[in-house]
């Protein structure tokens, strides 16, 4: 498991997948609840596997699991027992692996570790407001879900959509407990220079890259118009490979659990080329970006 992503990134561009919830909603699933797409790990795991397959068939090299919004705290609030939560976290990896084995045996499965804010289910990743969270709570929440995910044998951890420097620091410290695990870390940003909590991206990149535990850093679930600047700022402070998988540019309503406004459905070739020139070695999409966009992206990168 060690080094597979780093090896791929050194060999050439890596195509990441797109938005999972976006495609599940297109299949007719209502995800407007506190568990979001993680609810389907219990209610319709076959739909999740089908979306993973669609992205591999589109040309993705990496599948990011449906565990983003899965936490022991969140599932407990929905009446799901701890033992069942452990099973569902492991299942998220197994579903992605089954899709990979059927379509792209050389593909990678990245176990998603979403931000602490998923416990609140109110869009905190877009504000970074952790004023009510004590420093020790970050590790208490993330540790057991990471353990459960790793028990299922993913190729790496995708620590993603991290909105605040306090959580970056906590996660870097926590990764020291898992020395044989490969991980990337990507941040959710409010503009072309800062994380959701206002921290300059340079500071977050320095912390993550300086840990020796992270093999790539970058940005995800951030509007595409901010990516050029964020990549330039990140590249100025690290030589690690950079990853970008923006959302469509629409605005998330945390209370109603829905997106608003206009957005893009994919990224023009010239835009992707610009991201590569600024150091992006892995490119994909997040919320609002589907298999057709990933197929077009794969053609550009290859």
- Taking the CA of residue 25 as centre, how many other CA atoms within 13 Å lie in the half-sphere pointing to its CB? 17
| Over residues 153-162, mean pLDDT | 98
Q: What would the pLDDT profile of 98-127 be if each residue is shown by its tens digit?
A: 999 999 999 999 999 999 999 998 889 999
Q: What is the model's pLDDT at position 71?
A: 95
CATH code, domain with 287? 3.20.20.330
Q: What is the model's pLDDT at position 30?
A: 77
Lowest mean pLDDT among 20-29, 37-46, 229-238, 254-263: 254-263
The domain tally of the chain equals 1
Higher local confidence (pLDDT), 302 or 128? 128
Asked if 228 and 265 touch (Cβ cutoff 8 Å), the reply is no
Q: What is the model's pLDDT at position 201?
A: 98
Asked if 150 and 177 touch (Cβ cutoff 8 Å), the reply is no
Q: What would the pLDDT profile of 259-298 be if each residue is shown by its tens digit?
A: 555 566 789 999 999 999 999 999 999 988 999 999 999 9
- Residue 36 confidence (pLDDT) above 90: no
Q: What would the pLDDT profile of 201-244 be if each residue is shown by its tens digit?
A: 999 999 999 989 899 999 999 999 999 999 999 999 999 999 99
Domain residues for the domain of 211 are 4-301
Q: What is the pTM of this model?
A: 0.94
Q: What would the pLDDT profile of 240-253 be if each residue is shown by its tens digit?
A: 999 999 997 566 55
Q: What is the model's pLDDT at position 1?
A: 38
Band (256; pLDDT cuts 50, 70, 90): low
């Amino acid at each position: 498991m060690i080094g597979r992503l780093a090896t791929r990134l050194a060999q050439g561009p890596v195509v990441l997948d797109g938005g999972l919830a976006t495609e599940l909603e297109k299949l007719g699933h209502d995800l407007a609840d506190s568990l979001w797409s993680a609810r389907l790990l219990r209610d319709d795991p076959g739909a999740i596997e089908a979306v993973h397959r669609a992205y591999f068939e589109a040309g993705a090299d990496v599948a990011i699991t449906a565990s983003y919004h899965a936490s022991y705290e969140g599932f407990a609030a929905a009446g799901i027992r701890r033992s069942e939560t452990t099973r569902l976290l492991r299942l998220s990896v197994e579903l992605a692996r089954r899709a990979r084995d059927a379509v792209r045996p050389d593909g990678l499965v990245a176990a998603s570790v979403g931000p602490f804010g998923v416990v609140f289910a109110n869009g905190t990743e877009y504000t970074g407001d952790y004023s009510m969270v004590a420093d020790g709570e970050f590790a208490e929440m993330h540790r057991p879900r990471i353990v459960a995910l790793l028990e299922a044998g993913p190729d790496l951890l995708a620590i993603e959509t991290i909105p605040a420097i306090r959580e970056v620091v906590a996660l870097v410290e926590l990764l020291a407990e898992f020395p044989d695990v490969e991980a990337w870390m990507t941040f959710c940003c409010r503009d072309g220079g800062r994380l959701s909590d206002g921290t300059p991206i340079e500071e977050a990149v320095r912390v993550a890259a300086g840990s020796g535990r992270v093999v790539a850093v970058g940005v995800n679930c951030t509007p595409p118009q901010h990516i050029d600047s964020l990549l330039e700022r990140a590249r100025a402070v690290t030589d690690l490979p950079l990853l970008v998988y923006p959302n469509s540019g629409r605005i998330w309503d945390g209370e109603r659990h829905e997106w608003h406004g206009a957005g893009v459905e994919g990224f023009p070739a010239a835009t992707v080329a610009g991201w590569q020139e600024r150091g992006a070695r892995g490119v994909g999409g997040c919320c609002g970006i589907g298999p057709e966009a990933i197929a077009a992206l794969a053609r550009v990168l290859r």
